[in-house]
């Protein structure tokens, strides 16, 4: 009998097990926002999952959250009826529902000025009343698990700066809550380096608006630093940087050098258009020197030089950016020219100049040891021919140092302007040689005669003086002999007094 009872019990259990398995427990989950920032409103849904043969008709739970961080704004039941007067979550549904259902939405506001941290919203002590197919009810207590809790990360809204530097120096009077600054930099500062340090380690910079080097234009430059808080808010710091402008406005030319100086051009300050006559010009090489070395020069020369007008433009751009255009018109000719001189003068000399005489000699004179001074007149207009003076084979310039001596030679080369460099086929050369003076000077002879006369007079005077001294010496000797003889005579005339007489004389003197 006992064995039959046990067997029946086992069979009964086997029959009941499928029923137990099919009547699965309902589950609960809470879901919603996981990241927020102070001031945000966040919402969370509570959902019940019930089996088809078990309807949920009532939900009870405790809602736990940090009231220092979150402020509960509302609990909205969806198709459920919320029981009033309860501090806990307590909802009921008439007739019950099955399957998955969102029964309520809970809304919070993240309080202001909350430091970054993570907080939890949790459901605890969960109880669900279920209805079976026969409307019999039962209360199910659900154990806590991960789906009953949501973690909310509070992101920092700090998008302020702790420091703001320009070229390694903190901006004057910088404060985290001051967002606009004005700076003045020198004219030669064409680039600055921005370095900013956020107060919050999780703050970042908007792309291209953080630490960087910034090119500066002259005048005002707006430089922005955009700080992005961890929560996403952006704060803009604005730097108004004024770059002083002391650039030179001078766009004048100091000199125009044409074909290595063979073609001369004198510049006038306020003149920009020049006409230059040239002869058989085939090539042009031009260099322009600005007054201000920081000015830029651009030269445009015709590719081919023609007979007639050839236009050259020289554009000078000042450091400030202002332009001045010089125009040179080369009137090129092939007509024959006379490259001889009309006249040639040399200071201090009369050379009896003849334009067909090519070599002259001048006698060296120390008065002109620093060089000869020429005055030159060309036979043809100076717009068409030019000349260059050479001293001992070197061209004479303002910097040439001359120490003139016999044997030196000058050359004056007269040539058509515009001829190619090295083409001397139509050049006329006049040579002036410095020679030694071989003539006998009258004044030199006179000086020698005067010197000889003076020498003879000096000799005569010396002889006279020596003779006088000898005569004076003889006279003194004779005087000395006479004196000695007179002395002897006086001695002889002197009376000798004995002792008794001397005593008497002394006694008379006493009386």
**What is the residue-level pLDDT of the chain in tens, covering all 511 positions?**
455 555 545 545 444 444 444 457 889 999 999 999 999 999 999 999 988 778 899 999 999 999 999 999 999 988 888 876 556 888 888 888 888 889 999 999 999 888 778 999 999 999 999 988 788 888 999 988 889 999 999 998 899 999 999 999 999 999 999 999 999 999 999 999 999 999 999 999 999 999 999 999 999 999 999 999 998 999 999 999 999 999 999 999 999 999 988 888 889 988 999 999 888 888 899 999 999 999 999 999 999 999 999 999 999 999 999 999 999 999 998 888 888 999 999 999 999 999 999 999 999 999 999 999 999 999 887 777 888 999 999 999 888 999 999 999 999 999 887 666 566 778 899 999 999 887 666 677 788 889 888 888 899 888 888 888 877 776 666 666 556 666 666 656 555 556 666 676 666 666 5
CA distance 421 to 283: 9
Tokens of 153: 């990360």
3-state secondary structure of 468: helix
> Token match 């120490």: residue?
403
Q: Are strands 191-198 and 212-215 parallel, antiparallel or unpaired?
A: antiparallel
One domain for residues 216 and 310: no
C-alpha distance across the termini of the chain, in Å: 214
CA–CA–CA angle 92, 97, 103 (5° rounding): 55
Q: Domain of 171: which CATH number?
A: 2.60.40
Please report the pLDDT score of residue 3 as a whole number: 53
Please report the pLDDT score of residue 180 as a whole number: 97
State which of 408, 435, 462 marks the end of a domain. Answer: 435
Q: Is residue 147 included in any domain, yes or no? A: yes
Q: Is residue 5 included in any domain, yes or no? A: no
One domain for residues 311 and 351: no
Radius of gyration of the chain (CA): 63
CA distance 430 to 394: 15
One domain for residues 118 and 219: no
3-state secondary structure of 357: coil
Q: Is residue 375 included in any domain, yes or no? A: yes
Quote the number of domains for the chain.
4
- Identify the burial level of 158 via C-beta atoms within 10 angstroms of its C-beta, where 0-12 means exposed, 13-18 middle and 19 or more buried: buried
CA distance 200 to 216: 30
3-state secondary structure of 83: coil
Q: Is residue 118 included in any domain, yes or no? A: yes
Please report the pLDDT score of residue 85 as a whole number: 59
One domain for residues 131 and 236: no
Q: Which residues contact 333 (CB under 8 A, 6 or more apart)?
A: 277, 278, 279, 280, 307, 384
One domain for residues 144 and 166: no
Contact call for residues 362 and 346 (beta carbons, < 8 A): yes
Q: Domain of 118: which CATH number?
A: 2.60.40.680
Please report the pLDDT score of residue 225 as a whole number: 98
One domain for residues 39 and 95: yes
CA distance 107 to 105: 7
One domain for residues 146 and 258: no
Q: Is residue 225 included in any domain, yes or no? A: yes
Tokens of 64: 């736990």
Domain extent for 197: 161-243
One domain for residues 233 and 194: yes
Q: Is residue 1 included in any domain, yes or no? A: no
CA distance 162 to 456: 107
Tokens of 179: 């967002």
Please report the pLDDT score of residue 422 as a whole number: 62
Run of H or E including 489: helix 442-493
State which of 308, 333, 358 marks the end of a domain. Answer: 333
Run of H or E including 258: strand 253-258
Task: Name the nearest CA neighbour of 33 among 117, 121, 157, 111.
Answer: 121
Contact call for residues 320 and 248 (beta carbons, < 8 A): yes
3-state secondary structure of 249: coil
Please report the pLDDT score of residue 6 as a whole number: 53
Tokens of 217: 């234009």
Contact call for residues 229 and 203 (beta carbons, < 8 A): yes
Q: Is residue 387 included in any domain, yes or no? A: yes
One domain for residues 347 and 324: no
One domain for residues 170 and 209: yes
Please report the pLDDT score of residue 440 as a whole number: 61
One domain for residues 44 and 137: yes
CA distance 404 to 410: 10
CA distances from 348 to 374, 390, 433, 436 (A): 10, 20, 15, 16
One domain for residues 352 and 385: yes
State which of 435, 456, 490 marks the end of a domain. Answer: 435
Q: Is residue 506 included in any domain, yes or no? A: no
**Count H helices, E strands: the chain?**
3, 32
């Amino acid at each position: 009998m006992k064995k039959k009872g046990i067997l029946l019990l086992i069979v009964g259990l086997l029959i009941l097990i499928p029923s137990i398995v099919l009547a699965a427990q309902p589950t609960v989950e809470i879901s919603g926002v996981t990241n927020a920032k102070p001031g945000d409103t966040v919402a969370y849904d509570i959902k019940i999952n019930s089996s088809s043969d078990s309807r949920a008709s009532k939900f009870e739970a405790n809602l736990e959250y940090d009231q220092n961080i979150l402020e509960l704004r509302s609990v909205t039941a969806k198709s459920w009826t919320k029981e009033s007067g309860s501090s806990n979550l307590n909802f009921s549904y008439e007739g019950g529902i099955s399957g998955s259902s969102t029964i309520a939405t809970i809304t919070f506001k993240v309080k202001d000025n909350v430091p970054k941290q993570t907080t939890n919203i949790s459901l605890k002590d969960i109880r669900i009343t279920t209805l079976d197919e026969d409307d019999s009810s039962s209360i199910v207590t659900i154990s806590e698990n991960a789906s009953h809790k949501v973690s909310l990360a509070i992101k920092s809204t700090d998008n302020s700066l702790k420091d703001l530097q320009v070229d390694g120096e903190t901006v004057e009077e910088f404060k985290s809550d001051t967002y606009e600054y004005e700076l003045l930099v020198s004219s030669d500062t064409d680039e600055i380096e921005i370095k900013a340090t956020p107060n919050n380690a999780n703050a970042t910079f908007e792309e291209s608006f953080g630490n960087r080097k910034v090119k500066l234009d002259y005048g005002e430059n707006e430089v922005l630093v955009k700080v992005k808080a961890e929560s996403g808010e952006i704060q803009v710091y604005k730097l108004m940087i004024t770059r002083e402008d002391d650039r030179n406005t001078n766009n004048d030319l100091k000199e125009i050098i044409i074909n290595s100086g063979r073609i001369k051009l004198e510049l006038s300050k306020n003149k920009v258009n020049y006409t230059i006559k040239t002869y058989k010009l085939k090539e042009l090489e031009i260099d322009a020197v600005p007054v201000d070395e920081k000015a830029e020069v651009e030269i445009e020369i015709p590719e081919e030089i023609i007979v007639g007008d050839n236009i050259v433009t020289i554009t000078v751009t000042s450091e400030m950016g202002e332009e001045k255009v010089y125009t040179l018109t080369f009137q090129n000719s092939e007509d024959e020219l006379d490259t001889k001189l009309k006249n040639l003068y040399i200071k201090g000399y009369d050379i009896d100049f003849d334009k067909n005489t090519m070599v002259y000699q001048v006698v060296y004179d120390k008065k002109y040891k620093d060089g000869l001074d020429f005055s030159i007149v060309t036979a043809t207009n100076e717009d068409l021919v030019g000349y260059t003076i050479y001293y001992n084979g070197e061209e004479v310039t303002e910097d040439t140092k001359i120490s003139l001596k016999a044997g030196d030679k000058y050359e004056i080369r007269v040539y058509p302007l515009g001829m190619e460099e090295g083409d001397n086929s139509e050049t006329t050369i006049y040579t002036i040689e410095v020679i030694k003076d071989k003539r006998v000077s009258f004044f030199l002879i006179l000086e020698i005669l005067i010197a000889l006369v003076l020498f003879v007079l000096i000799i005569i005077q010396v002889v006279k003086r020596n003779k006088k001294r000898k005569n004076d010496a003889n006279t003194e000797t004779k005087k000395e002999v006479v004196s000695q003889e007179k002395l002897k005579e006086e001695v002889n005339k002197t009376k000798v007094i004995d002792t008794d007489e001397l005593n008497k004389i002394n006694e008379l003197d006493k009386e």
